[in-house]
Amino acid sequence: MGVVLCPRHGRQGIAFVCPHVNEALLNHNPLPRMSSVSADFDFHDVKMEAALCPECTALATSDGGSLERFGDQGLDWFFELSVEPVCTGCLADAKSEDDLR
């Protein structure tokens, strides 16, 4: 798992999100409804997960595939989503703020 040095939360783990979710975080706007996608690289015993907005979720599954992919093709698919790393603390805070709205 990667780490970021967040100005607000200090050293934190990373979460991957689509550019639209990241933009909402950076601008302190309400988060869009998010879907979880994952790529499981069984030969490395690593699973990558990301949160996508509805628009990016539709793009991710436009080939008729599922929200979970496997192996090398899963790795390629995951990085084609253009996900961006964000601070897990910032994402959790934004989710909590949205829950209060």
pLDDT category of residue 99 using cuts at 50, 70 and 90: low
Q: Which of 20-24, 48-52, 71-75, 81-85 has the lowest mean pLDDT?
A: 71-75
Query: How large a percentage of the chain has pLDDT more than 90?
Result: 61
Quickly list DSSP for 69-94.
EEHHHHHHHHHHTT-EEEEHHHHHHH
| Phi, then psi, of 26 in degrees rounded to 5 | -65, -35
Q: Report which of 46, 35, 51, 101 is spatially closest to residue 72, judged by C-alpha positions.
A: 46
What is the mean pLDDT of the segment spanning 32-50? 83
pLDDT at 100: 63
* Tokens of residue 55, six digits: 């628009």
Domain ranges of the chain: 3-100
DSSP-derived 3-state class of residue 13: strand
Cα dist from 93 to 60, 76, 88, 90, 98, whole Å:
26, 30, 9, 5, 9
